[in-house]
Structure 1
Amino acid sequence: MPKVKRSRKPPLDGWELMEPALDELDQKRREEHYEYCIKEGYADKNLIAKWKKQGYENLCCLRCIQTQDTTFGTNCICQVPKSKLEVGRIIECTHCSCQGCSG
């Protein structure tokens, strides 16, 4: 389901009828995006498989989640949510120079 900004107002009448159709359209859009990325060579199938999992939607490369490539055997620093980091701290992946896959 696409992220919809919710207000304190109750949903409109008939929303429950539209919601499944919106979910289906969003899923179709995602699948078309994945196919396009493979076709154009932007991403491989393993990366796209990770994009489908919750928390990995913005993952830029697979090296960011490989624990054997890090000093302490954990995920890359760019996988730490910005809300969990110190205020004003700028992070950068040592592998791909990404500044935060987790958003």
Structure 2
Amino acid sequence: MPKIVTKKTRFPEGWEVVKDTLDEFERKMREALADPHEGKRKVESVWPIMKINHQRSRYIYEKYYHTHEITKEVYDFCLKQGYADASLIAKWKKTGYEKLCCLKCIQTRDSNTGGTCICRVPKSKLESGTIVQCTNCGCRGCASCDV
């Protein structure tokens, strides 16, 4: 969640480019937090929140690195204020992690086998017809070699 905006918060020049979209993501995040989670498994109740966090971080990443619509000051402000996940963006910049869904999926200590999550396995390596869904975030495949 982003930090609370006060009167002392100084927005950098060019903030208007991303402001409306980030406000929309904030609205979606509040709805996801307020959603009832009866009948869902404990991990499933967090999936919408992780998905929105991924989308918001990806939006800022794309605006800065690919379309160059925001400045370095706006990008740094977004990271500092918590609008984007800096650790996730750092992984996206590395080869092989361009489509990474969340950091939990690459942590080997969280898995039973000592490897990464099943969603990181390329779809071509899985048996045909196998539907894979990550237990951490609900991802259905984030291997960089998948189209």
TM category, shorter: 0.5 to 0.7
Candidates 73, 80, 84, aligned match of 2:121: 80
Aligned counterparts of 1:30 and 1:56: Cα–Cα separation in 2: 19
RMSD, aligned α-carbons: 2.6
Distance 1:54 1:31 in 2: 20
CA distance in 2, matches of 1:49, 1:30: 18
Q: How do 1:1-103 and structure 2 match up within 5 A?
A: 28-29=65-66, 35=75, 38=79, 41=83, 43-102=84-143, 103=146
Distance 1:73 1:30 in 2: 37
Call closer, same or farther: CA 1:40–1:29 in 2, change over 3 Å.
farther
Alignment: residue pair count: 75
Gaps of 5+ in 2: 1-63
TM-score computed with the length of structure 2 as normaliser: 0.45
Identity, % of aligned pairs? 56
1:44 CA drift (Å): 1.0
In structure 1, runs of 5+ residues without a counterpart are 1-26
Cα distance, 1:28 vs structure 2: 4.6
State how far apart, in whole Å, the 2-side matches of 1:66 and 1:86 are: 24
Tell me the distance in 2 between the aligned counterparts of 1:71 and 1:31.
Answer: 41
CA distance, structure 1, for counterparts of residue 65 and residue 116 of structure 2: 30
- What's the TM-score, normalizing by structure 1? 0.62
Q: Which runs of 4+ in 1 moved over 2 A?
A: 30-33, 35-40
